[in-house]
Each structure stands twice: as structure tokens, then as C-alpha cells.
Amino acid sequence: MLEGRDIICFAHDWDSDPTSKTHIMQILSAKNRVLWVNSVGMRRPAASRRDLSRMLVKLARGLRGSVRVHDQFHVFNPLVLPFPGVRGIEQINNWLLSATLRRSARRLAFRRPILWTFLPNVSGLVGRLREGTVIYHCVDEYSAFAGVASERLRVLERDLLSRAHLVFASSEQLCRERRLQNPRTFFVSHGVDVDHFGKALVPATPIPPDIEGLSRPIVGFFGLIAEWVDLALIRGISEKRPDWSIVLIGRSTAPTDLLQGLRNVHLLGGKPYASLPGYCRGFDVGIIPFRVDDLTVRANPLKLREYLAAGLPVVATDLPEIRKYQDIVKIASDASAFVDEIEAALGERGEPHARRRVEAMRAESWEARVEQLSQIIESFERERTHAGRDRST
């Protein structure tokens, strides 16, 4: 694994739900120093109470600068103008952010840090942070998200791809498309915290009280309830099997009106990451009811491996990265097919089936993924060092 390095990482807000970014940087921070930069937004704020509240929180945090999580990990709260896609504003933000980040990096005595960005909209910072290696880690087709300046994001990503030393992509389709613009693009799939989700198989793990009394079977989902979640599909499953309990865990950023009035659908809101194994223990089947569109065909859902590491039978929409697991995952295309496959999955809840799913995930731990990433980075840097020596002789 990488060791003794300084890393400036651009990602989502540190205190939001753990994602691939969180797991990767947490592991790296055991042997490296990480300055995590909270989200530099890609959406313009709306005139809503929620967005106003978020802006005020970000302003208050930004005035505090960086916050120490532990000796090797600091979180930087950027102060930027919330108008992405406006070029004049972008230039001001790049100047402001690069100046404040350089100051924070000096205070931490960072030297030639790795600039590791999971976001495509920071290309204007490349070359301004006294960085050594530049890494773009692409985990989504961000231009396909609702509410973003899509064309401007595509322009910024193309610029970033042309300037990055290495590109990592979390799905094969993302990888193929980015490799056309940067030949040093590598497919590195997501991982999973096997030990954490494996607690779902431990009898001492309590089932949370808000689902313990629900009628069986419990068909469960956890994750952000956003535009890519097919609520019409969930409604169809609910109506076809009104005796089933359908539990949705996660913050909603999309309207959930389609689910109103369905007595067997339970919207429980967001839950702490630490509680998810208990919910998995209470689920009979985990579902991934995603739409099939430009965003999701390039996605690699984290929850797929998390369900499997919890031993759960899984029924999912037919997406390329899910199709790879069709020997242990059931795939369906509409409500009728989902119902049929869920009923089949209910027959595969026993210990042998659960252990097979867990064992399939052991080779896909986050530690293994970080080791893979580290080897690619170290190999590139060795080659670059040798090339530099050859030029100097």
C-alpha cells in the first residue's frame, strides 16, 4: 500500500453517508496523510429552505477552515461562490480555493502531494497546488445527474482527463469511454467492508425495532432515494404483493409522491452506517430497483456488494456491472419479473446460500481495492522517475 505520502482529495462532504471515496481515503490515511476537501458543488442552489440551510452550514464551516479528524486526516471546508458553470465565478473560485488550500497544505507541511479528485469540476486547480501526481477517480457519469450544468461539466472533465497522470474508473463502461481520452485509465471496481456487513449473520446483532414487527417477508433497500431509483417499479411490486413489507432506508432527494398511500411501503429516512447490518439482518431480500439510463448503465452500485456481504439474496435491475454477478444475484426488468425473482430468492435464505455470497465478497474488500490502486500509482511513479533519469543522462 502507498506509504508516507501526502494526499489532497476532492470528494463529497465528509460527514455524509460513507461511499467508495470514504473507504479508500480512510484506509490510505493509516499510512499516509490526507487532506479531504469537502464538496465543491456541481449544482446551483435552488430558492428552497433546504438549499439555503445547506449554504449557511457550508459558510460556517468554511470560516473554520480545516478540521482535524485524527493525526493523519484533516477535513478542509472550502469557501466558494455557489454558482457552478459560470466561467467568471469558476475563475474566482479556482483562485480562492487554490490559495486557501496551499495555505492549509503548508500548515500541514505537505510536500508534492498527490491531487486525487473524485469530482470532474476541479480541473482548474491542477498545477496550482504544487502537486506531484494528479489522479482522476471517476465513479459516476456526473453530467447525467439532474440539475447540473451538463455541457460545462463535460468540458471540465475533458480538460481534467487531458491533464491527469492516472485515471481510475469504477465501471468498465466508464473506463472504456475515459480511456479514449487518457490511455492511462484503469478499471478498479468498488469494494466492500465484509466484516462490517457480515455482522448481519451474527445472532447477537439486533434487528432495529422500526422493522422488527413488520409482516414478512421484508423486501429492503438502503441508499440515497434519488432520480435513479425507480419508484414506479417499487409501487408495482407493492401493489402486486400487498402482504409484503417494503422498507426503504435513505434520505430522499427525489419526490416520493408515487409511494404515498401504500400501506406496505415504509420510508424510514436515513440511518447511521453502523446500523445497516442490523437492518440487513431484518431484511429477507435486498433489492436494487434502478432505472436503466445513461447514468445507471455506467454505475457500479455499492449496495450490491454490501447486501451480498450481509448474506442477503439480491434482486436487481439489469445493469452491466450487476450482470457480472448473475450467478449469485437475480436480475429482473419490471415489477412482475421482480416479484417472481423475489419469490425465488426467498427460497435461498439459508445458511449455505448466505455463506456463498459472503465468501464471494472476501476477495473484494476495500483493503484489496486500495492495494490495487496503490500498485498502479507506484508503478506509474517508478516509470516516471526512470524516464526522468534517462532524460537527464
Q: Which three cell numbers stand for residue 345?
A: 430468492
pTM: 0.92
**pLDDT tens series, the chain, 393 aa:** 999 999 999 999 998 889 999 999 999 999 999 999 998 866 555 555 655 555 455 545 545 668 899 999 999 998 776 666 666 788 888 898 999 999 999 999 999 999 999 999 999 999 999 999 999 999 999 999 988 889 999 999 999 999 999 999 999 999 999 999 999 999 999 999 999 999 999 999 999 999 999 999 999 999 999 999 999 999 999 999 999 999 999 999 999 999 999 999 999 999 999 999 999 999 999 999 999 999 999 999 999 999 999 999 999 999 999 999 999 999 999 999 999 999 999 999 989 999 999 999 999 999 999 999 999 999 999 999 877 765 655
With contact defined as beta carbons under 8 Å apart, do 312 and 200 qualify?
yes
Helix (H, G, I), strand (E, B) or coil at 52: helix
Q: Which residue in this structure is represented by grid cell 465468501?
A: 359
Domains of the chain: 6-191+365-392 (3.40.50.2000), 194-362 (3.40.50.2000)
With contact defined as beta carbons under 8 Å apart, do 75 and 14 qualify?
yes
CA distances from 216 to 41, 211, 213, 243 (A): 41, 10, 9, 8
- Order of strands across the sheet that contains 185-187: 66-70, 73-76, 33-37, 6-10, 114-117, 134-138, 166-169, 185-187
